[in-house]
Structure 1
Amino acid sequence: MHTEQPAERRTREALQKPAQLREAKNNYAEEMDSSIHFKTVSTNPATRGPVYALNDTTLELRCSGAESQRGLFTFATVGVLGVFAWGWTQIAIELIMQNIQPLPDFSFFTLLVTAFVLTTGIGVFYLYVRYGFKLTRLEMLTSRHLLIRFNRKTQQVHLHRPSYCGGIVTFAWRSTGSGATCPKDDPAGTGKCLGLAWHPRYTGLPHMEIAFVGKQGQGGSELRDEWEFIRRFMEEGPEGLPRPRLSTRFPSPIQAFSAQFEGIGRFFRKSSWLFKVAMLMVWPAFVVLGTCHWVSLMLCWRPRWPKIIREAGQPGKPIPPLTTLSDYPPEIQKRLLANADRWALKPGKRPEKKPRKPRIKKAPELDTGR
């Protein structure tokens, strides 16, 4: 949505109902201001991890909204494309040898079949490189994790992402909005990660930035505890906070298999015995997915922060500059600006809805027999 082309946007909006289009533009500045606050939201600050670093200056967490589903694209790439590549290679070598052995004589039919097999294989790999590789890179041959780093000394938040997914960005802590500040939203937090957002109203950018932190929650209360842990670290420091267990940066198989069960512990305990039996019956699927998850971790590399961010907060070291529009390539700048109206806010607050007048039902007419 940030960089959508005008033609693509017109096509998508043409499929939406008028009420959906009005609702997308029905956001008010006062509501946004009131939703971003740094008051206490929980008396039990706790983080469910994974936590990669915690000291007097920085807090570093995993930042991904779909980590538990990781392994599906790896299975499709290695299990489907990999098997096809192995089989195609074996057949192609065999056919080529059948054409070379009888030289200078050769079979025209065998030569034709060889050309067909080579063309088909090359075509499939071309389509994969052209259209499928960008999906594979969500799990393989890319950064092992998305990261978020909170720096208490500089009062900044850093997001670590590959360049093709937005790159590394820096925001002011006080521009951070959280989706876990209101207890009435707790039911919607089941099975979701803690969502953080940076609106253009506070960043000066023409687009919204969103990040999902940590594991999936088993309820909104866990998300509020996670946000309270982050809030207290940035506002007060690590003193008084429970010391979390730091996660290894090595691609551990325990991480790969345990990720599949994020957010379902409470639901599993309260579920019926029939559901528990069904879960036991599909354990081979969990084994396959967990194995592919682990393979994807091993085929990726550990993300590394730039030196200026690693040293931020140390005495005499520079403070990283906040991300601005000029940090993006010119073509991306144009497309971001073209979609900037998506995040525009109306001044003031939302007008109160007028109460509907009760509908008066007419009494049925009596049959007088006339």
Structure 2
Amino acid sequence: MYWMEWISYLNRKRPKPGSILDQYQSQTTTPVKRIESEEGAREKYLYQRCAEHIDDHHAIYRHTNTYIDVCTYNDDKRGLITLVLAVFTWGGGLAWYSVIDIWLELFGLSPNQAVSTLEFWIAFIGFTLTTPVYCYVLLRFGFPIWRLEAFTLRRLVVRFNRKTRKVYLLRPPHLGGVAEYDWDKTEAGVPEVENAADAAGAAGGFLLLAWETDDNQNPYAGTSQGVDGAFLGGPCDDYAQLVGFWEYIRRFMEEGPQAAPRPRRLRTRWPNPVSSLLTVFRLNLPGGIGKLPFFRVLRVIMFPAFFIWMLGHQLSQLLSYEGRFPKAIRRVSGESELGSLLALIGYNLLPLLYTPLWVWPLFAWLDNQDPWLPWHWLRSWL
């Protein structure tokens, strides 16, 4: 769920006067100051090693000699909104049926009899009156929130190109759109600690990169200067993992791919129930909280809930689409146009084809159906 990216983008836009967002910005916005960083301080964290060990944090989608594609923090945090709205939709259908059934009872009609003209008009008027209200509520309030994890890009990608020394952000327009920033002007949110003891006890959190931008339309900021950011990787267990993850990116950009080699296992782009279940089962909590014994036992106890969450997670991915960078960025990155096109088609089409292979057996088992029924239909058709 791209909640933080959405809030960050809205804080740079001009809201409608008198709206809820306008009131929120007027109360929370502070005058924006330019990102000031002394040259010595910038060289210290951008060009010098800050850790002995590197950690790819299982956040790399693609690794070449020219660029690396890195995931963002909220790519895995999805599914709950889809579940809620799916239940809301199902509940709306049941409500329609109940209202119509009540109307039929009031008129002394039985739903089991043949539909008469009166029954038809009662049902027609009922749907005519309730459908616009339901659709308005869903489109006015539900859909903008649903777009944070569905009907949008399946994942946000941050590309680091060491040859152009640029950082590219792949985002949909309602989250800021595609952006391009200089690597040399990158500000990394890596807090410093005084000694090794403090580093051992410091929390992890996530890696935040920021850049100064002139695209700030917030009327309460007092300037056109704003800050755009990217939230990278997953929740880090501790400070050492956070610094190691930043060091991996820094070495790739400053020292080359030999200093930050390709991970043994790249992050998958294929939506599948196994990866969705593992994602929600891990909880993805910062500071290593999810690895505590209490949470390990809790995950086992709440496995049915996690399984249902997995269905929402998987559905939200299928309702989204895989994107790719614009042609100009692909060209300077050395991407193959044919390979990029085939990957785009495959990532968007194949999940819709192989998903029924596990959805139907699950439905057949829950509904006590013959799991081989589609095969029997296919044989009879052939």
Residues 52-94 of structure 1 show CA distances to partners (whole Å, capped at 9, x for unaligned) of 110110100112x333431111101223224424763797699
Cα pair distance change 1:125/1:227, threshold 3 Å: same
Equivalences for residues 291-310 of structure 1 within 5 A: 291-310=311-330
Provide the residue aligned with 1:236 in structure 2. Answer: 255
Cα pair distance change 1:161/1:151, threshold 3 Å: same
- Aligned to 1:88, what secondary structure does the other structure show? helix
* 1:102 and 2:116 aligned: yes
* 1:311 and 2:331 aligned: yes
Residues 276-311 of structure 1 show CA distances to partners (whole Å, capped at 9, x for unaligned) of 444432222222212211221122111111111111
Shift of 1:266: 3.8
Shift of 1:232: 0.6
> How much identity, in percent, do the aligned residues show?
27
CA distance in 1, matches of 2:224, 2:63: 29
Provide the residue aligned with 1:199 in structure 2. Answer: 212
* 1:220 and 2:239 aligned: yes
State the Cα RMSD in Å: 3.8
* 1:60 and 2:69 aligned: yes
Provide the residue aligned with 2:23 in structure 1. Answer: 11
CA distance in 2, matches of 1:146, 1:240: 25
Which is worse superposed, 234-243 or 78-87? Answer: 78-87
The structure 1 residue matched to 2:56, chosen from 47, 72, 76, is: 47
Provide the residue aligned with 2:368 in structure 1. Answer: none
CA distance in 2, matches of 1:61, 1:26: 28
Cα pair distance change 1:134/1:28, threshold 3 Å: closer
Shift of 1:15: 5.3
Which is worse superposed, 137-146 or 26-35? Answer: 26-35
Shift of 1:258: 2.5
CA distance in 1, matches of 2:32, 2:234: 31
Which is worse superposed, 137-146 or 34-43? Answer: 34-43
Residue ranges of structure 1 left out of the alignment (5+ in a row):
316-370
CA distance in 1, matches of 2:128, 2:100: 7
Paired residues of 2:32 and 2:225 also in contact (CA < 8 A): no
Equivalences for residues 1-370 of structure 1 within 5 A: 1-5=11-15, 7=18, 11-12=23-24, 24-25=30-31, 30=36, 36=42, 37-38=45-46, 39-63=48-72, 65-85=73-93, 88=96, 101-103=115-117, 106=118, 111=121, 114-180=124-190, 182-183=192-193, 189-190=203-204, 192-200=205-213, 206-244=225-263, 245-260=265-280, 261=282, 262-263=284-285, 266-271=288-293, 276-314=296-334
Paired residues of 1:183 and 1:220 also in contact (CA < 8 A): no
Cα pair distance change 1:14/1:311, threshold 3 Å: closer
Counterpart of 2:190, as a letter, is A
CA distance in 1, matches of 2:308, 2:40: 46
Structure whose CA Rg is larger: 1
Paired residues of 1:67 and 1:259 also in contact (CA < 8 A): no
Counterpart of 1:224, as a letter, is V
Shift of 1:268: 4.6
Provide the residue aligned with 1:325 in structure 2. Answer: none
Paired residues of 1:35 and 1:177 also in contact (CA < 8 A): no
How many pairs were matched up? 302
Counterpart of 1:77, as a letter, is L
CA distance in 2, matches of 1:125, 1:10: 26
Residue ranges of structure 2 left out of the alignment (5+ in a row):
1-10, 105-109, 217-222, 336-382
Compare relative contact order (CA 8 Å, sep 6+) and give the higher one, 1 or 2.
1
